[in-house]
Structure 1
Amino acid sequence: MTSAAIYGLAGLELTADEKAFFRDAAPWGFILFARNVDRPKQVSKLCVALRDAVGWNAPIFIDQEGGRVQRLKPPTWRAAPPAEVFGDLFRKDEAAGLEAVRLNHRLIAAELMALGIDADCAPCIDLQIEGADAIIGDRSYSTEPEIVARLGRAAMEGLLAGGVAPVIKHIPGHGRADADSHLALPRVDTRREVLETTDFAPFRDLADAPMAMTAHVVYSDIDADDPATHSEAMIADVIRGSIGFDGLLMSDDLSMQALSGTLRVRAERALGAGCDLVLHCNGRMKEMVEIAHAVPALSGRALDRANAAADCRKTPDDFDAESGLARLDALLNTGAAP
C-alpha cells in the first residue's frame, strides 16, 4: 500500500539510504528540483530508480511553470515564458492567447515525458493583485479571474494531451498574500464575499482538475488562526464546498516557514484538516523519517482520488514538437493568429 506522501530527494542519484527509506515508506509520488537535474540521461535514470524503489509507476512531479519557476533550465532545456506573457497576448487576441498557452504546455509535457516525469505542479491560477507580495507576480496570467481561468484550462488541456497530470495551485488563491509563504505566514484579510468572486473564482472554474495544491495562507474572514493547509474550515467549506474541488488535494511543501510546529505535527494537521496527501520537498532524510511516522496509507476517498489522478497520465496524443514550437514562436512574436 502507498502512503499519503510525496517526497523529494537530496541529489542527482538515489542513495542507498534513500532507496531503503522509499521502499519502506512507500510514498505515492516523488518531486524533483534543480538539485536533482543535470542532463537528460541522468534524469531519466533517476526516474527509473525512484519507481524501482517503490515497485510501481509512481507519479514523478516537478515545478515546470515557465519563467521564474522551472527546474529544467536552459541551455539544456527550453526557456518557457512566464504566465503573464500569455495573459498579455490574450488581451490582444483571445484565440492566439489560448492557442499559445495550450501549445506551450503541450511542449512542456513532451519535454517532461521524454525524461520520465509525468506530473507538473502547474498551472498556477492565482490572481495578480496590486500591492501583494511579489512571490506570484508574473507567475499569474492576469488580474482578471475569467482570463486566469480560461488560460489555466488551456494550460491544463495541453499537459493532459501530452500525458502529464496537472496540479492547479495554490488553492484557494495565493495572489493576494502579503508575504512569501516560503519565508513567513501570509494573511489575507479581504472579506469572503470578495474572495468568492475574485481569488476563488478560477479554482471554481477548474474544479474538475485532477489535483490541486493548497496555499499556506490565512484567510482571516473564514479562519483567523490557521492557513488553508491546516484549516478544516477552509478545506471543507471553501475548497471542497463553495469551490467544489473533488480531486486529489495535496499540501504545499511542509518545510516552508509559513507553517509552525514539528514536521510530524505539520503533516498530521494537514491530513487532519482534509488534505489527501502531504508534500515534502527538501530531501532531508531526518525530516522525511519524521513525516513518515505521521502519514497513513492512502485509503477511502483519498485513495480513490489518487487513483483517478494517476489514471489521467494517458498515452500522449500525436504531436510534432518542432512544428509546435515554431507555431508558438509565431504566436508570441506576432501577437495574433494568421
Structure 2
Amino acid sequence: MTVSALILGCSGRSLTAEETAFFRAVKPWGFILFRRNIGTPDEVRALTAALRDTVGRADAPVLVDQEGGRVQRMGPPHWPVYPPGGRFAGFGREAAAMARLGARLMAHDLAEVGINVDCAPVLDVPSEGSHDIIGDRAYGREPDAVAEIGRAVAEGLMEGGVLPVVKHMPGHGRAACDSHKDLPVVDAPRDALEARDFRPFRALADLPLAMSAHVVFTAIDPERPATQSATVIREIVRGAIGFDGLLMTDDLSMHALTGPFRARTEAAFRAGIDVALHCNGERAEMEAVAEGAPALAGESLRRAERALALLATRAKGFDVAQARARFEAGLSAAA
C-alpha cells in the first residue's frame, strides 16, 4: 500500500464526508488532533477509529500535543490537568521519577482513546531574553537536567504504548519570537549551540521520532529555517546530534514559513525531512501540502516502520488509580 509522507489534521469532532474521501485518496501516514477535535472519551475514540479506517491501517499514528500546562489538548472534565514541564525541576532528586510517572499516566489517558503518539518531550533550553513560547514548557535551563527529565518523559510514554516526539530539533530555546507568528533568527555561534541547545537532543538521539524547529541558525544556514535547511538536517540533526529516527516538520501552516503550501512542503522534503505535518484541517492547504509530499519510501519508510514497531512494547499490569494517587501526592508535597 502506498502511503503519503504526511500527518494531517481534521476540522471537528467527527469526519465530514469530504474529509473521509480526501484521506482515503491521499492516504497520509498519520493524523494529529487538537482541542477542536476533543469531545468526550467516546467521541475521541470514535474519531481515532474513523481516521484509521480511512487509510486502512490499524496502527496508523494519531498524534496529539499533550505536554501538560498550557499545551494540553485533553483536559477537564474528562481528563486531569497535568503540570507544565518546568514544574518538575522543583522536585529535586525526584524530578525524573515524577516526570516519568506523569508521562505514564498521560500515556494511559491517550491510549484509552486510540492516540498512540504524543508530541513530547520538549528538549528546548530557554536562554535569557528568549520568547516565552517555550517558557515553562521547558524542563529547566540546564541542558543535562532537560535531557534527564526528557528521557524520563519519553520512557513513561513508551511504557504506556505511546510514542514520544522530541521537539523542536535542533533547538527552539534561544528564539526571540514565536514561530507560530514570525520566523525566529538565532545568531549564536555554533560552539555555543553545540554546548547548550543541541546537547539534550544529542543525549536522546536514540528516540524514534522528532519534530523540526522553524528557526534560522545563522551560524549554520543564514537563509533557511531548520525545517527547510539541508545543511541543518544533514550536518546537525543527522550529523552532530546523530538522530536517525523519523523527522517530521513542525506545523507547515505556522507563519514562520512563507510562500505557497506546496512550495513549503517541497522545500522541507528537499532538505531531508521524512514526513510533513499540517495541523489546522484547512482543506485547500492540505490539498496543496499533499501535492508537494512524496510517498513514504526508502530511509524514511524504514524509520517510520522502526518507530511503529515500538508500539508493541506497552507494559502490562499498570495500576492507574494507585499511580495517580502517588502522582497527586507528590505534586501536593512539592507545592
Q: Please classify the TM superposition score into its range, dividing by the shorter chain length.
A: over 0.9
**Which residue of structure 2 lines up, in the alignment, with residue 319 of structure 1?**
318
Runs of at least 4 residues off by over 4 Å: none
**Which residue of structure 1 lines up, in the alignment, with residue 331 of structure 2?**
332
Residue 197 of structure 1 pairs with residue 167 of structure 2: no
- RMSD (Å) for aligned C-alpha atoms: 1.0
Q: Determine which of 63, 77, 81 is the counterpart of 1:75.
A: 77
The equivalences for 1:56-205 within 5 A come to 56-57=57-58, 58-89=60-91, 93-94=92-93, 96-205=94-203
**Which residue of structure 2 lines up, in the alignment, with residue 267 of structure 1?**
265
Give TM-score scaled by structure 2 length: 0.98
Write the distance in 1 (CA, Å) between the matches of 2:148 and 2:173. Answer: 17
Cα drift, residue 326 of structure 1: 1.2
Write the distance in 2 (CA, Å) between the matches of 1:127 and 1:185. Answer: 18
| Number of aligned residues | 332
Write the distance in 2 (CA, Å) between the matches of 1:310 and 1:280. Answer: 20
The equivalences for 1:248-287 within 5 A come to 248-287=246-285
Q: Deviations over 1:303-322 (max 9, x none)?
A: 00011111111252121111
**Which residue of structure 1 lines up, in the alignment, with residue 37 of structure 2?**
36
Instruction: Give structure 1 stretches of 5+ with no counterpart.
Output: none
Letter in 2 for 1:321: V
Equivalent position SS for 2:276: strand
Equivalent position SS for 1:163: coil
Equivalent position SS for 1:253: coil
Cα drift, residue 335 of structure 1: 3.9
Letter in 1 for 2:330: L
Cα drift, residue 87 of structure 1: 1.4
**Which residue of structure 2 lines up, in the alignment, with residue 18 of structure 1?**
19
Q: Deviations over 1:41-100 (max 9, x none)?
A: 0000001100000000211000000000010011221101000010121xxx32x11110
Cα drift, residue 329 of structure 1: 1.8
Cα drift, residue 152 of structure 1: 0.3
Q: Deviations over 1:218-240 (max 9, x none)?
A: 00111111100000000000000
Q: Contact 2:90–2:334 (CA<8 Å) still a contact in 1? A: no
**Which residue of structure 2 lines up, in the alignment, with residue 212 of structure 1?**
210
Letter in 1 for 2:104: R
Letter in 1 for 2:66: Q
Q: Give % identity.
A: 52
Equivalent position SS for 1:38: coil
Cα drift, residue 178 of structure 1: 0.8
Letter in 1 for 2:9: G
Letter in 2 for 1:242: A
Instruction: Give structure 2 stretches of 5+ with no counterpart.
Output: none
Write the distance in 2 (CA, Å) between the matches of 1:160 and 1:125. Answer: 17
Q: Contact 2:123–2:150 (CA<8 Å) still a contact in 1? A: yes
Cα drift, residue 333 of structure 1: 2.5
Letter in 1 for 2:86: E
Write the distance in 1 (CA, Å) between the matches of 2:23 and 2:304. Answer: 18
Q: Contact 1:128–1:141 (CA<8 Å) still a contact in 2? A: no
Q: Deviations over 1:103-145 (max 9, x none)?
A: 0000000000000000000011111222101100000000000
Q: Deviations over 1:140-190 (max 9, x none)?
A: 000000000000000000000000010000000101101100000001100
Equivalent position SS for 2:181: coil
Q: Contact 2:161–2:313 (CA<8 Å) still a contact in 1? A: yes
Letter in 2 for 1:243: I
Write the distance in 2 (CA, Å) between the matches of 1:124 and 1:224. Answer: 24
Letter in 1 for 2:24: R
Q: Contact 1:121–1:166 (CA<8 Å) still a contact in 2? A: yes
Letter in 2 for 1:11: G
Q: Contact 1:128–1:138 (CA<8 Å) still a contact in 2? A: no
Letter in 2 for 1:112: L
Q: Contact 1:164–1:314 (CA<8 Å) still a contact in 2? A: no
Write the distance in 2 (CA, Å) between the matches of 1:335 and 1:128. Answer: 23
Q: Contact 2:158–2:313 (CA<8 Å) still a contact in 1? A: no
